[in-house]
């Protein structure tokens, strides 16, 4: 279906509880017609991402006449790696901040955004190259691959943790504990590059025997807990 044939849905900012945080102040900039959504493919179920969830999605940005100016997809010149953001934590353009929480898992949607809703927003926290058409109205095609609750481990969002199964008790490893952990390391596309799933890997916490981010994530885990650390 051609983009111009898609039925557009206009929506004003979602009414939320009173808050003085930066996200709520930014949402007040959204005016009728500045952010439009058209669903290309419906997703699964009714659940939608909320603040604190890590959202994983592909994005292709086009001009209104269909020219691709940016994409995460290989077929459009990207690296093939989806975007991973934490709602309420990661720096995002205003259109994503408001539009992504309306999507279900597996959904593909087209968001039409006025410049002030994407990178031309005053004090936009996300920067683009000088040749990016940030002063133009643009189409953002989003495929919501997955979302899940995560714990932010690093202040700079460099390390986040998804709990797969809860552990026992409340105590977490700290210096100078001796720790045993079953570890599988994978690339973003799922290729296994290191495995200690059969024989646990033993290390002394705090002695830099593991990559810093991995040790930070393990430092938030209880005994018996299973988690994915990104």
Q: What is the mean pLDDT of residues 89-111?
A: 96
Give 29 or 101, the one with higher predicted confidence: 101
Asked whether the beta carbons of 41 and 107 are under 8 A apart, the reply is yes
Query: 139 and 29 in one domain?
Result: yes
Q: Give the CATH number of the domain where residue 200 resides.
A: 3.10.50.40
Range of the domain at 180: 152-229
Query: 100 and 162 in one domain?
Result: no
Residue 8: the pLDDT is 64
Residue 82: the pLDDT is 94
Query: 161 and 127 in one domain?
Result: no
The structural domain count of the chain equals: 2
In the chain, the percentage of residues whose pLDDT exceeds 90 is 49
Average pLDDT, the chain: 86
How far, in Å, CA of 229 to CA of 212, rounded? 12
Question: 5 pLDDT band (50/70/90 cuts)?
Answer: very low
How far, in Å, CA of 77 to CA of 60, rounded? 10
Asked whether the beta carbons of 147 and 88 are under 8 A apart, the reply is no
Please identify, among 115, 149, 183, the residue that sits at the C-terminal boundary of a domain.
149
Residue 174: the pLDDT is 86
Query: 112 and 39 in one domain?
Result: yes
Question: 128 pLDDT band (50/70/90 cuts)?
Answer: very high
Q: Is pTM, for the whole model, over 0.85?
A: no
Q: How many CB atoms lie within 10 A of CB 199?
A: 9
Give the largest CA-CA distance in the chain: 62
For residue 44, list its beta bridge partners: 105
Query: 208 and 139 in one domain?
Result: no
Residue 97: the pLDDT is 93
Dihedrals phi, psi of 100, to nearest 5 degrees: -60, -40
How far, in Å, CA of 84 to CA of 46, rounded? 21
Question: 7 pLDDT band (50/70/90 cuts)?
Answer: low
Question: 127 pLDDT band (50/70/90 cuts)?
Answer: very high
If residue 71 lies in a helix (H) or strand (E), which one and from where to where? strand 68-71
Instruction: Assess whether pLDDT exceeds 70 at residue 28.
Output: yes
Query: 165 and 112 in one domain?
Result: no
Instruction: Assess whether pLDDT exceeds 70 at residue 179.
Output: yes
Q: pLDDT tens digits, residue range 53-75?
A: 999 999 999 999 999 999 999 99
For residue 149, list its beta bridge partners: 53
Instruction: Assess whether pLDDT exceeds 80 at residue 21.
Output: no
């Amino acid at each position: 279906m051609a983009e111009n044939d898609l039925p557009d849905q206009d929506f004003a900012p979602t009414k939320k509880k009173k808050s003085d945080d930066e996200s709520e102040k930014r949402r007040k900039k959204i005016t009728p017609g500045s952010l439009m959504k058209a669903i290309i493919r419906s997703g699964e179920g009714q659940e939608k991402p909320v603040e604190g969830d890590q959202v994983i999605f592909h994005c292709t940005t086009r001009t209104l006449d269909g020219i691709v100016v940016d994409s995460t997809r290989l077929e459009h010149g990207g690296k093939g790696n989806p975007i991973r953001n934490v709602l309420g934590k990661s720096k995002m353009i205003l259109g994503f901040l408001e539009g992504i929480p309306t999507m279900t898992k597996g959904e593909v949607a087209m968001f039409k955004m006025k410049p002030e809703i994407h990178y031309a927003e005053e004090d936009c926290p996300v920067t683009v190259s000088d040749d990016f058409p940030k002063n133009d109205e643009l189409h953002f095609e989003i495929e919501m691959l997955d979302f899940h609750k995560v714990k932010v481990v690093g202040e700079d969002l460099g390390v986040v943790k998804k709990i797969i199964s809860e552990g026992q008790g409340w105590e977490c490893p700290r210096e100078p504990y001796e720790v045993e952990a079953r570890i599988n390391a994978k690339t973003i596309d799922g290729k296994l590059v290191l495995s200690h799933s059969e024989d646990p890997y033993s290390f002394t916490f705090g002695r830099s025997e593991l990559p810093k981010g991995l040790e930070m994530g393990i430092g938030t885990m209880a005994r018996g807990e299973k988690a994915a650390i990104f």
